[in-house]
Amino acid sequence: MPPVASLLLAHRPERRTMLVIGDGRLAQTRVRTAKEAGLETKLAWNAPVANISSDMYQVSTMALFPSKDDKENCIRAWEHILNEIDGPDASLFAVCVTDTLVAVPNDASSRRLRCEILAKACRTRRLPLNVTDTPELCTFSFPATHRFATDDEENASSLQLAVTTNGRGCRLAGRIRRHLVASLPASVGLAVERIGEMRELAKARTSCRGDAGELEDEPALNDALGYSSTAEDESDACAVQRRRMRWVAQISEYWPLERLASLDQTQMQALLENEMDASSRAQETSAVTEHVEPVAKRSRHDLDISKPRRKGHVYLLGSGPGHPALLTVAARDILTSPDTDVILSDKLVPTAVLALIPSTTPLVIAKKFPGNAEGAQSELISQALKAANEGKTVVRLKQGDPFVYGRGGEELVACQNAGIECTVVPGISSAIGGPLMVNIPVTQRGAAESMIMSTGVGRGGKRVMLPGYERSRTLLLLMGVARLPAVIETLTSCESPGRYGDAYPPYTPIAIVERASSEDQRLIASTLDRIVHVMDTHITDGQRPPGMLVVGWAVLSLTSTQVAGAHVLDDEADCYAEHEHDPARAAKQLAERDAARIDRWLGSRGFYIREGLPHGYDRFAQDAPALTRSLDDPTTLPRSSSGWAAPRYGEAMETPTLAPSSQPSS
């Protein structure tokens, strides 16, 4: 036999009381739920309970937990509790048991006895009862609920959603609730508030009173929308009100939720007035043609549901480290969508990613160069806001992740201040993905237990404070390659005003990762005391921006077993355990082991250089089509279907060029 369905009701129990018996997180949840519904709460427990902001109803241990063999004493105890809380005004609304009867004592029969006694006492008083994990004793259950938001942060929407499995799976009910909420527009709560306001306007516009002088709310429920379809005397104020309420009902039924949420007071009043004008015109036409039949009810298909003027939208889009195959699905969809009106790209976004953009979509590349970064950033924000105010869909394409030193936060705040919707689409951060492309993990068991990320360039080109040395930590430095000598000096000097913490040992491993995930990516690995010399004498083609620095023992942690990079932290523990009472000797022995490890890693040259993508990435070459447009020639970028003409900078704009060595195969 299928389980009996619940009678789902929405109670309004203001100024009544709920008794919660128990403690812990579930009791706190029940208290919060009760307070949201306007209930007073009483908590019964035999000891003070932390983190409960409610009235405490204290009872003694013996009163709450009488001997399991003393049934009569247990009955009297529950009778006393219920009588005292219910009071002469019978204010007790419901009783909820969480874990009190489970905790003491740990006896199933005693627990069951107490539950049954409480259930009988509640039935005698016709009090609803909920006992956790005992559905056969419950007269009500708590569904999984959700309260929708509005544009007012202080007040939630009147719309609530509840899901119940009738005790068959509370966790599953919560999961189903999340799916239902996710399937609805984010503005659905605001739509309910707008319809509520429009209903009040429709009723307030006329004075319709019944025999008792009270304002009538709903007319007779006869038609499919819940309103009477009989002919009415149009001069009657009640009939006018009913017609307007029918109009609001039709709007509620058939208009898009997003449009309902966007209505303001002026639009609501105009809709109600337009409905009256349309009705009056229909009556005049009927009189002229001497049509004897009553005016037909407006068809629901006569509603004007044409979309309002589209509001602009800005997407802050992360392009990942650089390889097109490392774009997220969302990023690729937005870049290639015909609904995208203009793309404003950072200069360092690789050409292979830009090649995915359809030739009909206008593309603007930032003209950032040393000394002009602030101006170019402000210009891009202005262009994005201007296009969005014109109803355009704008993509701000940023390298890596938009918020990891990408200044995406500034652009998000600018959109919020301008009242423009902005969606952040995360990208794989170059700070994490870049090292992985050359087999360097930022954390690794036995070598690096934590990581810290910093920039090598502060605001306005100023120096930033760099962290000191910790053997178990990896330092990631973005935008520091151009200042490599100064960075090394700051890290290794015994006393440096630009560093907090201990100095780095000169033999600490360092890696420079350039153009990570591009076909011409390059890794240059050495130690802090050698890396500047390596860059000056062995790198003949200069730097390949963008680049980053990785400092720490994680750099060699995945090399050969002879190097034993994954046991860096074990060596430290062994040395200090062996020389427990002589820290200086332990430090000397550890330094000797580190030097030997460095020699095995780098060999006699003291560095190594690797170029190109790892094996296996050639399978993704087909995902990077050849660039068919010229980034330097604005005439190759036609207008989009929306009429947006692409502003270009011409020769003054610095744009990435497609090197022959990185030309993707078709």
Residues 499 and 417 in one domain: no
> Which of 106, 122, 142 finishes a domain?
142
Residues 326, 518: Cα–Cα separation, whole Å: 11
Q: What is the pLDDT of residues 145-184, one digit of tens each?
A: 998 888 776 778 889 999 998 878 888 998 999 999 988 9
Residues 30, 82: Cα–Cα separation, whole Å: 18
Q: What is the pLDDT of residues 134-145, one digit of tens each?
A: 888 899 988 989
- H-type helices in 357-452, by residue range? 373-389, 408-417, 430-437
Residues 338 and 378 in one domain: yes
pLDDT value at position 648?
A: 36
If you average pLDDT over each of 237-246, 374-383, 596-605, which comes out highest? 596-605
Q: Which residues, listed in sequence order, are joined to residue 215 by a DSSP beta bridge?
A: 209
Residues 111 and 45 in one domain: yes
Does 373 score more than 80 pLDDT? Answer: no
307 Cβ contact partners less than 8 Å away, ≥ 6 residues apart: 256, 259
pLDDT value at position 462?
A: 73
Does 630 score more than 70 pLDDT? Answer: no
User: Is 58 among the domain residues?
Assistant: yes
Query: What is the per-residue DSSP string for 450-498?
Result: EEEEEESS-GGG---PEE---TTEEEEEES-GGGHHHHHHHHHSSS-TT
Long-range contacts of 266-273 (CB under 8 A, 24+ apart): 268/194, 268/197, 268/198, 268/201, 269/201, 271/198, 271/247, 272/198, 272/201, 272/202, 272/205, 272/244, 272/247
Residue 370, preceding peptide bond in cis (omega within 30° of 0): no
Does 659 score more than 50 pLDDT? Answer: no
pLDDT value at position 556?
A: 93
Neighbours of 203 (CB within 10 A): 17
Residues 501 and 371 in one domain: no
Residues 450 and 556 in one domain: yes
User: Is 541 among the domain residues?
Assistant: yes
Q: Which residues, listed in sequence order, are joined to residue 523 by a DSSP beta bridge?
A: 513, 610
Residues 477 and 547 in one domain: yes
User: Is 68 among the domain residues?
Assistant: yes
Decide: 17 and 92 in contact? Cβ < 8 Å: yes
User: Is 209 among the domain residues?
Assistant: no
Residues 466 and 561 in one domain: yes
User: Is 573 among the domain residues?
Assistant: yes
User: Is 260 among the domain residues?
Assistant: no
Rg over alpha carbons for the chain, rounded to the nearest Å, is 35
153 vs 511: which has the higher pLDDT: 511
The CATH number of the domain holding residue 127 is 3.40.50.720
Residue 105, preceding peptide bond in cis (omega within 30° of 0): yes
Residue 38 Rama label (left phi>0; alpha psi -120 to 50; beta): left
The CATH number of the domain holding residue 380 is 3.40.1010.10
Does 313 score more than 90 pLDDT? Answer: yes
Residues 394, 375: Cα–Cα separation, whole Å: 20
Domain around 116:
17-142
Residues 492 and 374 in one domain: no
Average pLDDT, the chain: 79
- Please give the share of the chain, as a percent, with pLDDT higher than 90: 38
Q: How distant is the alpha carbon of residue 532 from its chain centre?
A: 42
Residues 421 and 559 in one domain: no
> Which of 392, 407, 428 finishes a domain?
428
Decide: 646 and 342 in contact? Cβ < 8 Å: yes
Residues 504 and 376 in one domain: no
Instruction: Give the three-class secondary structure for 41.
Output: strand
Quick one: which of 241, 160, 145 has its CA closest to 193? 160
The C-alpha angle 292, 295, 300, rounded to 5 degrees, equals 150
The CATH number of the domain holding residue 598 is 3.30.950.10
Q: What is the pLDDT of residues 3-53, one digit of tens each?
A: 678 888 888 888 899 998 877 788 888 888 888 888 888 877 655 555 555
Residues 481, 546: Cα–Cα separation, whole Å: 9
Residues 414 and 464 in one domain: no
Q: Average pLDDT for residues 61-79, to the nearest whole number?
A: 69
User: Is 387 among the domain residues?
Assistant: yes
pLDDT value at position 529?
A: 95
pLDDT value at position 292?
A: 38
Split into its structural domains, the chain has a count of 3
The separation between the first and the last C-alpha atoms of the chain, rounded to the nearest angstrom, is 63
Sign of the Cα torsion 124, 128, 133, 136 reads: positive
pLDDT value at position 116?
A: 86
Structure tokens at 139: 């007269």
User: Is 245 among the domain residues?
Assistant: no
pLDDT value at position 293?
A: 42
Q: What is the pLDDT of residues 525-545, one digit of tens each?
A: 999 999 999 999 998 888 888
Q: What is the pLDDT of residues 257-298, one digit of tens each?
A: 888 888 888 888 888 877 655 444 444 434 433 443 443 444
Q: How distant is the alpha carbon of residue 384 from its chain centre?
A: 22
> Which of 115, 142, 169 finishes a domain?
142
Structure tokens at 341: 């009106």
Does 514 score more than 90 pLDDT? Answer: yes
Query: What is the per-residue DSSP string for 595-613?
Result: HHHHHHHHTTTT-EEEESP
Q: Average pLDDT for residues 458-487, to the nearest whole number?
A: 88
Residues 441 and 557 in one domain: yes
Does 299 score more than 60 pLDDT? Answer: no
Q: How confident is the model at residue 251 (pLDDT cuts 50, 70, 90)?
A: confident
Neighbours of 139 (CB within 10 A): 15
* Type and span of the H or E element at 31: helix 24-36
Residues 396, 340: Cα–Cα separation, whole Å: 11
pLDDT value at position 528?
A: 96
Q: Which residues, listed in sequence order, are joined to residue 548 by a DSSP beta bridge?
A: 478, 513
pLDDT value at position 135?
A: 84
Instruction: Give the three-class secondary structure for 268.
Output: helix
pLDDT value at position 229?
A: 44
Task: Note if the pTM is more than 0.85.
Answer: no
Q: How confident is the model at residue 626 (pLDDT cuts 50, 70, 90)?
A: very low
